[in-house]
Amino acid sequence: MKKKTENLVLALFLIFLGYFFGDISVKIKESKKPTLPKEGTATQPDNAKTPFPDLKTLHQDLRKGRVKYVIDGDTIILQNREKVRYIGIDAPERGGCWYETAKRYNQRLVAGQTIQLEKDKSNRDRYQRLLRYVYLEKTNPPQRIFVNLELIKAGLAQAKEYKPDTKYHHLFSEAEKVARQNKLGLWSNQCAP
């Protein structure tokens, strides 16, 4: 029980540091953490059915947009006023446990940033929001962040399979298992501090 409490405190501390000091990565101790390939590669992680896309080769389904406003942990508004709902995840709703933390984490990731948007099968949901996988390219240090996946890995969103848009569901469900095992965020059995 003491070890679980220490892990929870460590996870919350890392999220706190990331929010206030700009380090948005949450370090998770596990051996099979899903990772994105380096730019220009299309390697396939262990247990993956679909490789991560090589953003240089995607043309028709990949668009760029600048984030104007973050609504919550899984929805944003672009400069062109389009609402974008992240595919394959479900973050807490307003008033729920971890809502504010998920929203702030999403803000730290994408607010004011130019992002890349990948379409799956559906274009829009019933509320006319664009349905997309969201990527962020960082230059210092160079890295690609798969935003949908990052929110799950931090324990701030659940993996949700919304058919027919299931291209990366296997990655999302694996990341959720790790977050659950480490009792991060939603899986800590506590509301956010």
Q: Which amino acids are annotated catalytic? A: 85, 93, 129
**DSSP assignment letter at 62:** E
HSE of 123, CA atoms in CB hemisphere, 13 A: 5
The letter for the amino acid at 71 is: I
Task: Report strand pairing: 142-146 vs 130-139.
Answer: antiparallel
Q: Which residue has the tokens 């994408």?
A: 110
| Contacts by 34-39, CB closer than 8 A, 24 or more apart | 34/149, 34/153, 34/171, 34/174, 34/175, 36/144, 36/145, 36/146, 36/149, 38/144, 39/142, 39/144
Asked if 89 and 158 touch (Cβ cutoff 8 Å), the reply is: yes
Structure tokens at 59: 């043309």
